[in-house]
Amino acid sequence: MARDITEHHDVIPTLGEIFREFGFAGTSLAEITHRTGLGKGSLYHYFPNGKKEMAEVVLDNVAIWFEENVFLPLRESNNPKHGIKVMFKAVDDYFHSGKRICLVGAFSLDNTRDQFACKLNSYFTSWNQALASALKRDGLNANLANDISEDVVTSIQGALVLARSQDNPKVFTRTLKRLKKRIESSAHD
């Protein structure tokens, strides 16, 4: 685990943005020293296991953010409809309305996946289960809730891919709108 770097609390988000931009394999320590302003000595002081450990810390922080801002509201909101609304707002903010990619999705696609398999897996599993939980509490039967939940999480990931490939964030915002509608209309089935 990385040492305490509370004095450099801004380093972790920066690392995240670098990994988003270059991918794991494409990120070099030279780029990291440049963007963080920290020399290699400092970086290895905080992250003795180097680049891999930096990525792990970043992924942990992503997980914490989603746990607090997305999964928890979905699981524990008294009003599940409100929890879902919170999710959509948080997701739209987090991904900058389609201009920012999902690090977990990006890491999932090539063989860097193998190094972080557990974290990547649990991110999507947690999201899926939390959303399904909210949908069930909202009155949907288990099968339909799981179905819609997988559909939503899947579509969000795909929309981030398309938005980036087309350089058009609106693909993402359109998808979010479509998904909200689908959830609303499914409640009346």
Q: Of these, 38, 62, 130, 152, which contacts DNA (CB under 7 A)? A: 38
From first CA to last CA, the distance across the chain in angstroms is 48
Q: Which of 1, 52, 96, 142 binds DNA (CB under 7 A)?
A: 52
The single-letter code of the amino acid at 12 is I
If DSSP states are collapsed to H, E and C, what string results for 8-75? HCCHHHHHHHHHHHHHHHHCCHHHHHHHHCCCHHHHHHHCCCHHHHHHHHHHHHHHHHHHHHHHHHHH
- Choose from DNA, a second copy, none: what does 51 bind? Cβ within 5-8 Å by kind: DNA
Q: Which stretch binds DNA (CB under 7 A): 32-40, 62-70, 94-102, 124-132?
A: 32-40
**Per CB under 8 A, which of residues 149..188 are in contact with a second copy?**
150-151, 153-159, 161-162, 164-167, 171, 174-175, 178
**How large is the greatest C-alpha to C-alpha distance in the chain, in angstroms?**
60
Q: Name which position in 15, 32, 59, 112 contacts a second copy (CB under 8 A).
A: 112
Residue among 5, 72, 97, 105 that touches a second copy (CB under 8 A) = 105
Residue closer to DNA, measured from CB, 34 or 170: 34
DSSP characters over 92-141: HHHTGGGTS--HHHHHHHSTTHHHHHHHHHHHHHHHHHHHHHHHHHTT--
Long-range contacts from 7-10, C-beta under 8 angstroms, 24+ separation? 8/36, 8/38, 8/46
Near a second copy by CB under 8 A, which window of 32-40, 81-89, 99-107, 136-144?
99-107
Binding test (CB under 7 A) with DNA, winner from 46, 95, 107, 116:
46
From the list 12, 15, 27, 58, which residue makes contact with DNA (rule: CB under 7 A)? 27
* Angstrom distance (rounded) from CA 159 to CA 51: 28
Please say whether the beta carbons of 79 and 138 come within 8 A: no
**Considering beta carbons, is residue 32 or 135 the nearer one to DNA?**
32
154, two tokens: 């899947």
19 binds DNA (CB under 7 A): no
Residue 139 is a binding residue for a second copy (CB under 8 A): no
Site residues, DNA (CB under 7 A):
7-8, 27-31, 37-42, 44-46, 48-52
